[in-house]
Structure 1
Amino acid sequence: MVKLEIGIFLLYALPQATGCFQLITPSQWGAKPANCSAPLKELLPENVIIIHTAGTPCQTKEECSRETRNVQDYHMGTKHWCDIAYSFLIGEDGNVYEGRGWRSEGAHTLGYNDLSLGIAFIGLFTERSPNEAAWKALKCLLDFSVKIGYLHPDYLLMAHSDVSDIVSPGVHIRDVISKWPHYKHQ
């Protein structure tokens, strides 16, 4: 029932956001069916964890869809997780690729999966920052998520490395988000 309500809401609300970002749904990027459906906690997510996929960056919808499928294949086939780990992925084509979405628990950050959105930039960003189109898509996604009521207005924005002993998402991404108003170093 919740998925139906989200679908109906997005059918009407998403066109308002398309001037800022385009959401590529799992069926559009060629996702495999998920084997899980654990919802986030009933409270609005109050945390956003920014990650990178540590794979190949992408510049076109075709490349980004392929990379998103590769991430899902790795998470489901090698890690044996029930789906792609992230709530959303962002390509340097400026599109947002829906993973588990707004209401499903992720598998991106131990201790935060059930109360956060995990948003991953597609690619490896230890040597450089994502391009302007990707940053714009992130900002638009966050603003839209608050507007539609799927992210707490006073959310905390964190780098994956702020809450895990890991390099992701790289110092370049962390440096940028550390200047954003919602950033909170743990």
Structure 2
Amino acid sequence: MVKQEILLLVLSALSQAMGCFQLITPSKWGAKPANCSAPLKDLLPEYVIIIHTVQNPCKTPAECAREVRNVQDYHLHLKEWCDVAYNFLIGEDGLVYEGRGWRSEGSHTYGYNDLSLGIAFIGTFTQRSPNEAAWKALKCLLDFSVKIGYLSPDYLIMAHSDISDVVSPGEPIRSEISKWPNYRHN
């Protein structure tokens, strides 16, 4: 009886946290089968790396699913990686698209792939910031990730350009996350 009550409490907490954002699983966005097997380190990820995909932005679930499939095709066929590089992607439709998810190592940032979550905004954001719906989805995803034990409560957030010599995620995004209390410039 006690186990059932605990399970119900956990499920209730998860459903409340998930109410803040909607996760679109790979099967729902039309992913091709992945060939990845490297898990993240046993420790909780300590970093969140924010990236942009450098492609068309999307504002509807259909557009965003298509753009995520385009990212996966590029990463699988041209880069010859085992799957989409990112753990999650966020569209301006306010939805979170699962890439490699919480437990798999990404291919987004050399030296950080096994100890971070790579989260990419879908689009090119060198001239403007993602819309409010995308920012809300990011914040909800991070809160949820901490709550369910898939991200360290003391995580640090960084722009991809803080670590690598790239433009990603664009200055408007970098400027926004630099205001966050857990931002770290490398």
TM-score for the superposition, normalised by structure 2: 0.93
2:3 paired residue number: none
Going from structure 1 to structure 2, the CA distance change for 1:69 and 1:149 (only over 3 Å counts) comes to same
SS in 2 for 1:114: helix
Runs of 4+ more than 2 Å apart: 11-19
Structure 2: how far apart are the matches of 1:100 and 1:34?
9
Structure 1: gaps spanning 5 or more residues = 1-10
Give a deviation string over 1:36-69, Cα, whole Å, max 9, x none.
1210000000000000000000000000000000
Q: What amino acid is the match of 1:171?
A: E
Please state how far the C-alpha of 1:18 moved relative to its aligned partner: 3.4
Q: What is the correspondence of 1:157-176 to structure 2 with a 5 Å cutoff?
A: 157-176=157-176
Q: What is the correspondence of 1:55-94 to structure 2 with a 5 Å cutoff?
A: 55-94=55-94
Structure 1: how far apart are the matches of 2:14 and 2:25?
12
Structure 2: gaps spanning 5 or more residues = 1-9
Q: What is the correspondence of 1:4-83 to structure 2 with a 5 Å cutoff?
A: 12=11, 14-83=14-83
For the aligned residue pairs, the C-alpha RMSD in angstroms reads: 1.4
Structure 1: how far apart are the matches of 2:76 and 2:16?
33
Count of residue pairs the alignment pairs up = 177
2:133 paired residue number: 133
Please state how far the C-alpha of 1:120 moved relative to its aligned partner: 0.1
Please tell me whether Structure 1 or Structure 2 has the larger radius of gyration of its CA atoms: 2
